[in-house]
Amino acid sequence: MPKLLSLIISLTFGLTSIIAQSPPQSDSRMYDIIDAVSAERIQGDIEKLVSFGTRHTLSDTVSNERGIGAARRWIKSEFESISESCDNCLEVKYHKGLVKEGESRRIPTETWIVNVLAIKRGSQFPNRYIIMSGDIDSRVSNPLDGESDSPGANDNASGMAGVIEAARVLSKYDFPCSIIFAGLSGEEQGLFGGKFLAADAKDAGWDIIGVLNNDMIGNIHGIDGVIDNTSFRIFSEPMPPNSSEQALIWNRFYGGETDGPSRQLARYVDKMTSQYCTNLKGTMIYRLDRFGRGGHHRPFNDEGFPGIRIMETHENYTMQHQDIRTENGIAYGDVIEGVDFDYAAKLTGVNAICLAGLAWAPKQPAFVMIGGAVKPSTKLKWDPVDDENIHGYKVYWRNTTSPQWEFSKWVGKNTDVTLKNIIIDNYLFGVASVNSQGNESVVVYPKTLIPRR
């Protein structure tokens, strides 16, 4: 028996010397993060945002009681008080851009678009960012009406409150990468706050892992009559809009038309939801946004950054962009009665674990190459990740018609992998990097062929 035991030990050690031990399948901190999100605090924040009467981009900026100026000052002060309670762990600031007269039909006079940012600076990679965004501004029927009551309780005080709550919860943790909690403005007038921030991020050379844009995360009573608090939608574009002709040729012959960076981010959010969230299902929608409609992730996509929209499954159009009124017995208006705070808290929890997971995860593998045509096995190769948090890599594959990664293999620190008897023709492949606690990067889809010798 002792001989057998020593044989087992030597075999085990022999193996671990080749392949580092696989990390844990889950990170228990994720459950703590979800539990820490408070529906009561989210309700309080939505009530506060609604109390400013209107947050229209063209509304009063001077009053401390009414208008978008009062709203953004309150958001900034809220971030500052969160920061005070975590030993000044957040950099809180305004971020501005000017829309000049005549630049937009929806902004008739020169107007400052003012975002509010709270940055939890990464300890090791301060320039690598994961962003959660919501919107400050609201609107009613006439997009130019900056005077009428425009509570915007669901659109988008719900998203803004989610961002503030995620900042509260994640301020208790430290991360190697930076997290930005962003209140964006000018969304309803033409996505201006996002455009200004995305352009400045590009100029400053920010390495953006992804943008989780939250726009309407509180409605569970759909116009379709369905009441559902157990699902939400994740919108993502298939490929970046600025994809090169070469990328299109690659897609045609090697695949990848449903594997752009934003789509991989959507898969990440969907996977995290399945893994950690009880009684909540992410539904990936394979398009940029709702049919012909827009959101604040788009300007980031336009600049080449991955970004997705997170929102309720069932919208109620009588409660969006409407003057508050009753017509033919139907009550119109985006009032607070239309928001389910527990549901908004659930979706905030999804955001928080994805922010944490990505801010803890190592850098993505780069220069991922693939090969194996007319061979019995598929080969993948990539550059080792230069990040001390790397514990190893996971290779993923799925059937070509499957929306989500179906199969995976832990390969330790190997960066040259053969998947035996997996025929390249029948699957799509990707690689993620993993830290010692099991936190994974977004999957990278290969874009180069392994050179033949």
List CB contacts of 356: < 8 A, sequence separation 6 or more: 29, 30, 33, 170, 173, 175
Distance in Å, CB of 409 to Zn ion, minimum: 43
Distance in Å, CB of 137 to Zn ion, minimum: 9
Per-residue binding string, Zn ion, 391-430, x by CB under 5 A, is ----------------------------------------
Comparing CB distances to Zn ion, the nearer of 159 and 392 is 159
Evaluate whether 438 touches 318 at the Cβ level (below 8 Å).
no
- Interface stretch with Zn ion, choices 26-34, 43-51, 52-60, 147-155 (CB under 5 A): 147-155
Comparing CB distances to Zn ion, the nearer of 91 and 149 is 149
Alpha-carbon distance 322 to 333, whole Å? 5
Comparing CB distances to Zn ion, the nearer of 334 and 387 is 334
- Interface stretch with Zn ion, choices 75-83, 148-156, 278-286, 412-420 (CB under 5 A): 148-156
Size of the site for Zn ion (CB under 5 A): 1
Distance in Å, CB of 342 to Zn ion, minimum: 22
Distance in Å, CB of 167 to Zn ion, minimum: 22
Distance in Å, CB of 202 to Zn ion, minimum: 25
Burial class of residue 359 (count of CB atoms within 10 Å of its CB; 0-12, 13-18, 19+): buried
User: Which amino acid does the sequence have at 25?
Assistant: Q
Evaluate whether 397 touches 406 at the Cβ level (below 8 Å).
yes
Comparing CB distances to Zn ion, the nearer of 128 and 139 is 139
Helix (H, G, I), strand (E, B) or coil at 128: strand
Comparing CB distances to Zn ion, the nearer of 136 and 355 is 136
Burial class of residue 450 (count of CB atoms within 10 Å of its CB; 0-12, 13-18, 19+): middle
Distance in Å, CB of 302 to Zn ion, minimum: 19
* C-alpha 27 chain-centroid distance: 19
Give the relative orientation of helices 39-50 and 341-360 as an angle to the nearest 10 degrees. Answer: 110
Distance in Å, CB of 151 to Zn ion, minimum: 12
Alpha-carbon distance 233 to 270, whole Å? 9
Alpha-carbon distance 421 to 400, whole Å? 17
Helix (H, G, I), strand (E, B) or coil at 242: coil
Q: Which two tokens stand for residue 345?
A: 């808290």
Burial class of residue 107 (count of CB atoms within 10 Å of its CB; 0-12, 13-18, 19+): buried
- Interface stretch with Zn ion, choices 150-158, 264-272, 298-306, 340-348 (CB under 5 A): 150-158
- Interface stretch with Zn ion, choices 151-159, 196-204, 298-306, 347-355 (CB under 5 A): 151-159
**Positive or negative torsion for Cα 358, 363, 365, 367:** positive
What is the rounded (10 degree) CA torsion for 239, 243, 246, 247?
Answer: -20
* C-alpha 452 chain-centroid distance: 38
For 155-276, where are the E strands, in sequence order?
Answer: 177-184, 207-214, 231-235
Distance in Å, CB of 321 to Zn ion, minimum: 6
Evaluate whether 340 touches 220 at the Cβ level (below 8 Å).
yes
Question: Do you know the residue count of the chain?
Answer: 453
Question: Residue 444 pairs with which residues in a beta bridge?
Answer: 431
Distance in Å, CB of 196 to Zn ion, minimum: 18
Comparing CB distances to Zn ion, the nearer of 155 and 237 is 155
Comparing CB distances to Zn ion, the nearer of 183 and 365 is 183
Comparing CB distances to Zn ion, the nearer of 59 and 378 is 59
Distance in Å, CB of 139 to Zn ion, minimum: 6
Residue nearest to Zn ion (CB): 155
Distance in Å, CB of 187 to Zn ion, minimum: 7
Comparing CB distances to Zn ion, the nearer of 155 and 315 is 155
Comparing CB distances to Zn ion, the nearer of 219 and 378 is 219
What is the rounded (10 degree) CA torsion for 155, 159, 161, 164?
Answer: -150
Question: Residue 331 pairs with which residues in a beta bridge?
Answer: 326
Comparing CB distances to Zn ion, the nearer of 311 and 422 is 311
Distance in Å, CB of 150 to Zn ion, minimum: 10
Per-residue DSSP letter, 54? B
Q: Is 155 an interacting residue with respect to Zn ion (CB under 5 A)? A: yes
Comparing CB distances to Zn ion, the nearer of 155 and 387 is 155
Give the residues lining the site for Zn ion (CB under 5 A): 155
